[in-house]
């Protein structure tokens, strides 16, 4: 099915989604680590619009934006469907996938950065977003049901990022008491082998923000 490359950054929680999807589909790929302070000609050529990772390059044709890439992977390679068949369920999964990036990710970051009076409000807003995800996972093994789906991959790197933001910002967001189902899903998910072998860790993020940087160049399966 052609040559597959992933342009990524090991600490990006957008990039690992792409690698997880390829691994679930059993697609061999070459991973190329980008130095985001010195972007490669290949990245600038593959994603001239945003100049961002991840980019999937399949047979020389680039695709950018992690959610677009995940849907492409689901359509290009059969086996292990990431989206359900029913259009209404597909629409719901897409809705929550966008919600994850537009609300959860941004509000968690905002809560970490907020100071003084704004801090409490920002934490409340971030937790409100998490409460929506809590309702979606309640009573389910995965967001996708019995097996991992697109939404699991979209949310998957959030727990470690939140853990890092909690430590960095001195606050609690993913509270086990307030979000028991989400918390339980997170603990199980990040320990699944194909997930854990490629996930930004809290330690890696701490190290990065303290001035060091993790990098890798690897060939994935």
Partner 1 sequence: MANSDHIVLLDFSGSPFVMRVRLALAAKGIEYQIKEEDLTQSKSSLLLKVNPVHKKIPVLIHNGKPVCESLIIVEYIDEVWKDRCPLLPADPYQRAKAKFWADFIDKMVHPSSYKVWAANGEVQEAGKKEFIDRIKMLEGELKSNPYFGGETLGFLDIAFLPLYYWFHTLETFGKFSIEAECPKLVAWGKRCMEEEFVCASLPHPHKVYDLVVEYKKKMGI
Q: Can you give the binding site for partner 1, defined by CB under 8 A?
A: 49, 58, 61, 63-65, 67-69, 71-72, 75-76, 87-88, 90-91, 94-95, 98-99, 132
Name the residue nearer to partner 1 (CB basis): 46 or 201.
Answer: 46
Three-state DSSP state, 56: strand
Name the residue nearer to partner 1 (CB basis): 4 or 195.
Answer: 4
- What are phi and psi for residue 220, nearest 5 degrees? -95, 170
Name the residue nearer to partner 1 (CB basis): 99 or 143.
Answer: 99
For 134, what's the count of Cα atoms within 13 Å in the CB-facing half-sphere? 16
Residue 80: CB minimum distance to partner 1, A = 16
Residue 84: CB minimum distance to partner 1, A = 11
Three-state DSSP state, 210: coil
Is the C-alpha dihedral spanning 32, 36, 38, 42 positive or negative? positive
Length of the chain: 221
Residue 146: CB minimum distance to partner 1, A = 22
Q: How far apart are CA 6 and CA 217, in angstroms?
A: 11
Q: How far apart are CA 18 and CA 131, in angstroms?
A: 26
Q: Residues with Cβ < 8 Å from 73, sequence gap 6 or more? A: 18, 21, 22, 25, 27, 56, 82
Residue 118: CB minimum distance to partner 1, A = 22
Residue 21: CB minimum distance to partner 1, A = 13
Is the C-alpha dihedral spanning 102, 107, 109, 115 positive or negative? positive
Residue 50: CB minimum distance to partner 1, A = 8
Name the residue nearer to partner 1 (CB basis): 100 or 201.
Answer: 100
Name the residue nearer to partner 1 (CB basis): 39 or 90.
Answer: 90
Name the residue nearer to partner 1 (CB basis): 35 or 102.
Answer: 102
Please return the burial class of 21, using the count of CB atoms within 10 Å of its CB with bins 0-12, 13-18 and 19+: buried
Name the residue nearer to partner 1 (CB basis): 99 or 189.
Answer: 99
Residue 61: CB minimum distance to partner 1, A = 6
Q: How far apart are CA 81 and CA 3, in angstroms?
A: 21
């Amino acid at each position: 099915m052609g040559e597959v490359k992933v342009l990524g950054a090991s600490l990006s929680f957008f990039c690992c989604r792409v690698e997880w999807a390829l691994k679930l589909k059993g697609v061999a790929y070459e991973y190329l680590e980008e130095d985001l302070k010195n972007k490669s000609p290949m990245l600038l050529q593959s994603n001239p619009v945003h100049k961002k990772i991840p980019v999937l390059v399949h047979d020389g044709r680039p695709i950018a934006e992690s959610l677009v890439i995940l849907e492409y992977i689901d359509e290009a390679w059969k086996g292990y469907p990431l989206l359900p068949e029913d259009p209404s369920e597909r629409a719901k999964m897409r809705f929550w996938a966008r919600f994850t990036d537009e609300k959860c990710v941004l509000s968690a970051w905002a809560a970490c950065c907020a100071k003084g009076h704004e801090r409490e409000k920002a934490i409340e807003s971030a937790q409100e977003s998490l409460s929506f995800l809590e309702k979606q996972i309640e009573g389910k093994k995965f967001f996708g049901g019995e097996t991992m789906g697109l939404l699991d991959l979209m949310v998957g790197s959030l727990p470690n990022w939140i853990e890092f933001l909690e430590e960095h910002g001195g606050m609690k967001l993913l509270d086990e008491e307030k979000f028991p189902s989400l918390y339980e899903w997170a603990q199980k998910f990040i320990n699944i082998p194909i997930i854990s072998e490629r996930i930004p860790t809290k330690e890696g993020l701490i190290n990065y923000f303290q001035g060091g940087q993790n990098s890798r160049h690897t060939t994935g399966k």
